[in-house]
Structure 1
Amino acid sequence: MKQTDTTGLGVARRDTDADRSDFRQRLLDALEASIAEVGYAKTTVAEIVRRARTSRRTFYEHFDSREACFVALLSDANIDQIRQISDAVDPSAPWQKQVRQAIEAWISSGEERSALMLSWIRDVPALGAAARGLQRDAMESFIDMVGTLGATDEFRAAGVGPVSRRRIIMLLGGLRELTAITVEEGGRMGDVTDEAVDASISLLIPNRA
């Protein structure tokens, strides 16, 4: 027999969880806004809580440090980007078109948060041990996604899939560096779309010697 909560504790617990989630998101949004305006290096915990309109106490209830908040922000962004790319690809389309769809979605998601993407590429390596788990998890998620996309009938029929782990790592590293340099030089990520598509297709085609 299902029991009814007559104490109100269940509702209170849900409200508390919702409040915690709201504060966490406000802190992440505040960090991202500060990164876009002044960069991660110049962003302090004081700046994050000011933008989030909350307190240091609330910050430290959610994160141990500024670095932990940054890692959480990037982890969430990576999950969102993987989802956007996966949703954008039509597995029944010719494999070259699937590559274009994936690259265009990757660039589009990056342009939506270009400051954060650039910070990921340039600032994360300086975090050392704090970022190793993030980098590993992000790479594994990307490898899994590309592996799934490359396992479709269209890829297999063309003799392209499955894509090796090493090629996926080279692909991601090259795309990240290309887009980072482009943005740093005043361009837009979209400027490299065609070059990125052509290079990705060339990298994915297996040797036929």
Structure 2
Amino acid sequence: MNSTPAATTLTADKSAFRQRLLDALEAAIAEQGYPKTTVADIVRGARTSRRTFYEHFDSREACFVALLSDANADQVTQISEAVDPSAPWQKQVRQAIEAWISSAEARPALMLSWIRDVPSLGAAARHLQRDAMETFIAMVGALGAGDEFRAAGIGPVSRRRIIMLLGGLRELTAITVEEGGRMSDVTDEAVDASIALLRPQAG
């Protein structure tokens, strides 16, 4: 059954309000950090009401999880679109890492919040981190199954190796940022380490 014009408009309005709330939360995080951000701050930034907020989210934490989930999906899309599957596999690795770093640095407050604030979410954090990791595993798996990787004797890349790769990159960048550096400071090191981990072993 096709949606009526009224139903379509209602769905679009709900989506728009949801996005306004997410944008307001991200702006508040950039201004004062997640721990100091309240539902009142989000509502004020979105220029809407508490009632509207609770129509979309059960709590501030639920809004935060939704923001990070959407950001993760956007990041995966940007990385996938930045990689040229016809390029040599080493170049594809660089393209993927540069796109990952670029997308993260475009939203620095959110990147820091991933590192510093997500652990405070408890069980919600574990679900969020697992879902984010699974999304990235699927993306890397798809890239590693491409023709150039297969021709080099690499693809498909095993799930365990992808987890090792992603875990190492995550820790490297988290420590770098926590120490006051930029993710882009480790670009070449991240590329070289990833290539070394993926490179076919002699024999």
TM-score, normalization by structure 1: 0.90
CA contact (8 A) 1:121 1:176 kept: no
What is the distance in 1 between the residues matched to 2:80 and 2:188? 20
What secondary structure does 2:98 align onto?
helix
| Amino acid of the structure 1 residue aligned with 2:93 | V
The whole-number CA distance in structure 2 between the counterparts of 1:208 and 1:115 is 43
Please point out which of 134, 150, 169 is paired with 1:140.
134
Ranges in structure 2 where 5+ consecutive residues have no aligned partner: none
Rg larger in 1 or in 2?
1
CA distance in 2, matches of 1:42, 1:172: 30
Segments of structure 1 that go 5 or more residues without pairing to the other structure are: 4-8
CA distance in 2, matches of 1:123, 1:166: 27
How high is the TM-score relative to the length of structure 2?
A: 0.93
2:41 is matched by which residue type in structure 1?
Answer: E
Name the structure 2 match of 1:72: 66
* 1:60 Cα deviation from its structure 2 partner: 0.4
Select which of 156, 170, 191 maps to 1:176: 170
Task: Tell me the distance in 2 between the aligned counterparts of 1:122 and 1:162.
Answer: 34
Q: Distance in 2 between matches of 1:30 and 1:90?
A: 34
Identity of aligned pairs, percent?
A: 82
Give, in angstroms, the shift of residue 110 of structure 1.
Answer: 0.5
Partner of 1:126: 120
What's the counterpart of residue 38 of structure 2?
44
Aligned to 2:108: 114
Kindly provide the amino acid, as one letter, of the partner of residue 11 in structure 2.
D
CA distance in 2 between counterparts of 1:204 and 1:95 reads 10
For the Cα contact (< 8 Å) 2:152–2:200, is it kept in 1?
A: no
Provide the C-alpha distance between the structure 1 equivalents of 2:171 and 2:32, rounded to a whole number of angstroms: 21
Please report how far the alpha carbon of residue 89 of structure 1 lies from its aligned counterpart in structure 2 after TM superposition. Answer: 0.6
Out of 193, 200, 203, the position equivalent to 2:197 is 203
Q: Who is 2:12 aligned against?
A: 18
State the Cα distance separating 1:176 from its structure 2 match: 1.9
Instruction: Check conservation: 1:95, 1:154, Cα contact below 8 A.
Output: yes
Question: Aligned pair count?
Answer: 203
CA distance in 2, matches of 1:10, 1:153: 45
